[in-house]
Chains A and B, each alone.
Chain A
Amino acid sequence: MEYVFYVFLFISLYFQIFLLVSFFEKKVDGSSDTDTKEYDLLTTTIIVPCYNEESTVVRTINSLLALDYPKDKLIIMIIDDGSTDTTWQVIQQFVNDPRIRLYQKQNEGSKFAALNYALDHVNTELVGVLDADSWVEPQALKNYMEFFADPEVMATIPSMVIADPDSPMRRAQKAEYDIGLFARKSFANLNSIYITPGPFSVFRKYVFDTLGPYQEAHHTEDAEIALRMQVHGYKIAYSDNSIVYTVGPKTTKPLIKQRVRWTYGFLKNMFDYRGLLFKKRYQHLGLIVLPVGIFRIFISVILFPLSVWLLFVPLWKWYQKVSVVGWNPTWSWNVDWFFVGVSQVQLLAVVGVFISIMTIWIGRELVGDRRKFTIDIFYMFFMYTFIAPLWLLQSTYNALVSRKGTWR
């Protein structure tokens, strides 16, 4: 049993180091880019699907209107997906802007239908999505053009940042998304991006013309389209200078619900796309990124309770001691080595935590955030220790018995 732990730890650590190495690897075919270079600005449509987003949609649309992009090359399609609140009335204020197109449709219970409805009306070279709870920085779209200059690049994804976290769970997600930036860059270097997230992923229209529209895909259409592109060898790039802000669920319950949907969707999609796994043809994606991605869900269920145990037992002992004799620390520099009790598992856990914190810093560096020790990091470890096992177990169970989570 003990050895199983070590195997798990070994694979986790291997993957962490693998991503680190990939991150710093110089791209072999990287052309000597210069910032002053002008790229073609392709005509672009951004689709904003809204379902009861009256409070956030205005900020989203305003950020799109503020994009530093030629007015005649940008179309913003706002799809009211049968909202039951005042979303439709609220978006009427934009009706006079020549870039804005407003559509209203019946709700069909899933986002992919709204996206496909919009895709039917798109006739630009590029088409992107922006969730109505997210907003972009003015340069976000222009920065994409550097990547679309490469005719092989079929989609580009942005740097996602949690904006102004105001609750412990949002702070936890802030640190988590910062790691995500690091991972995204590594995956991009490995040509293994397997998700094109709702906030501001932009595709060539060619993708949908040749591969077909979005699919239901267990409520994770953003993962399915990326996997479909990977199967067909379409390249997905990551533009770290394109920043999109999003908020994330504020409290634990909706967070768990969201993550159950994500993890469930990931597992089901992986089952649908199992042909990608362990195939040399799909390179790093098939050989390591996806298999470890699946594997990590299962080992997390085991490793996280273990780390709770490692953390909790000394804390409980310390608490017991303090409760009977009070807190009177005597600190001495003469550490008697006899009383240093560390196990291999504990030390390896420390190494893992250290690398995690490093990757948070690297992720922040990508978006120009130089803060190091922030409370977010603590919240993130808390979230991953106590809350993540809940959604991992729930979604694994759901995937096994094929119970569908709800979309919202």
Chain B
Amino acid sequence: MKRTDYQKYLVVLLITMGVFFVVFTLVNTINNRRIASIEDLQQSITADLIATETQFDLLKTAPCEVLEKGSVLSRELGEFGQKLEFAQSQGADDPDVQQLKKYYSLLQVKDYLLMQEIADKCGTHIDAILYFYATECEDCIKQGYVLTEFKKRYPEIRIYSFDTDLDFSVIDTFAGLYDFDAVYPTLIINNKVYQSFQTLDNLEALLPEIVAAQVLQDRIDEGRNYILSLPEYDGVQSKDIENTNVMSEVYTYTISGSDTDMVLRLVFDPVTNEFSLDE
């Protein structure tokens, strides 16, 4: 063996160590970022918990319109949930994540109760799904996918999910309100208990109002796009077109111009699935 041969072994060793170093550093950087955002999450959740408390206090005095628009929590809740689930799947049983999930569950319970209060006070109805799951549950993974997809299609739905393995008294008490067997997945939709895997179609059948509302919303958006596509409304911005009324198949829009507002009525033909201008 020549000296250059041993040098080669060393050089290759250095290269290989270099590759390992880069790989480990990269993974570490990503993990550190995740830990950092988990810390952010912790702060947001704490802040939101205080906000919910305050909302309860405000409930007595504030008018209904303000209250209904006031809670932006539900939107954030979904994101929190996803991040926590993912963090848990990555870092197995990180105590920080476990603790955070408890806070998150608490926040969800509070938000749900607040929504109920508002609904009672204002006489409105809010569609919500309570979802109880366990770790050792094959269908729960699928149910999770379905619920995520449902939320994506119908953003107005409020989904509150609870990990029953979390060993958290609040969840136990909350689950006790509905008195169901420890079979998962368990879904509670408008106070009815469903203890089996629910497909996307099932959920849509169980929540017809939210589906109808979404269909209407989509139709309104289509109508707006239709107006934008007309040559005589060239240059009109999407945000300047507002839907003001829907009567059977007639959709009324108001276009705010620089000097005057203009009212436009569209007729939707359910047979051809197309809009036309109301003459």
Contact = CB atoms under 8 A, between A and B. Distances in A.
B149 A338 contact: no
B11 A21 contact: yes
Contacts of B20: 6, 10, 13, 348
A368 to B, nearest CB: 29
Given A14-B13, A337-B33, A320 B27 contact: no
Interface in A1-44: 6, 10, 13-14, 17-18, 21-22, 25
Interface stretch (B104-112, B140-148, B213-221, B243-251): B140-148
Contact of A320 (B8, B9, B141): B141
Contacts of A288: 9
Contact of A343 (B19, B27, B34, B141): B27
Nearest to B30: A340
Contact of A14 (B12, B83, B90): B12
A404 interface: no
A339 B5 contact: no
Contacts of A13: 16, 19-20
A320 B138 CA distance: 11
A320 B142 contact: yes
Contacts of B34: 337-338
Contact of B27 (A17, A287, A317, A347): A347
Contact of B15 (A17, A340, A344): A17
B237 interface: no
Interface in B80-134: 82-83, 86-87, 89-90
Contacts, number: 77
Contacts of A280: 1
B139 to A, nearest CB: 10
Given A338-B34, A348-B20, A321 B11 contact: no
A320 B145 contact: yes
Interface in B40-93: 82-83, 86-87, 89-90
Given A340-B30, A344-B23, A14 B16 contact: yes
B26 interface: yes
Given A284-B5, A325-B146, A351-B23, A338 B141 contact: no
Contacts of B33: 337-338
A325 B16 contact: no
B24 A338 contact: no
Question: Which of A10, A283, A317, A324 has most chain B Cβ within 10 Å?
Answer: A324
Contacts of B8: 18, 21-22, 25
A324 B145 contact: yes
Given A14-B12, A351-B19, A324 B90 contact: no
Interface in B176-218: 199-200
A335 B167 CA distance: 33
A6 B24 CA distance: 11
B221 to A, nearest CB: 17
Contacts of A317: 141
A70 interface: no
B12 A324 contact: no
B145 A347 contact: no
B225 interface: no
B219 to A, nearest CB: 20
Given A17-B16, A324-B199, A342-B30, 12 more contacts: A10-B16, A10-B20, A14-B13, A18-B8, A284-B5, A320-B141, A320-B145, A325-B200, A338-B33, A342-B26, A343-B27, A348-B19
7 contacts: A14-B12, A284-B5, A324-B199, A325-B145, A325-B200, A338-B83, A344-B27
Query: 4 shortest A-B CB distances, which residue pairs?
Result: A325-B149, A14-B16, A347-B23, A321-B145
Interface of A: 6, 10, 13-14, 17-18, 21-22, 25, 280, 283-284, 287-288, 317, 320-321, 323-325, 337-344, 347-348, 351
Interface of B: 1, 5, 8-9, 11-13, 15-16, 19-20, 23-24, 26-27, 30, 33-34, 37, 82-83, 86-87, 89-90, 141-142, 145-146, 148-149, 199-200
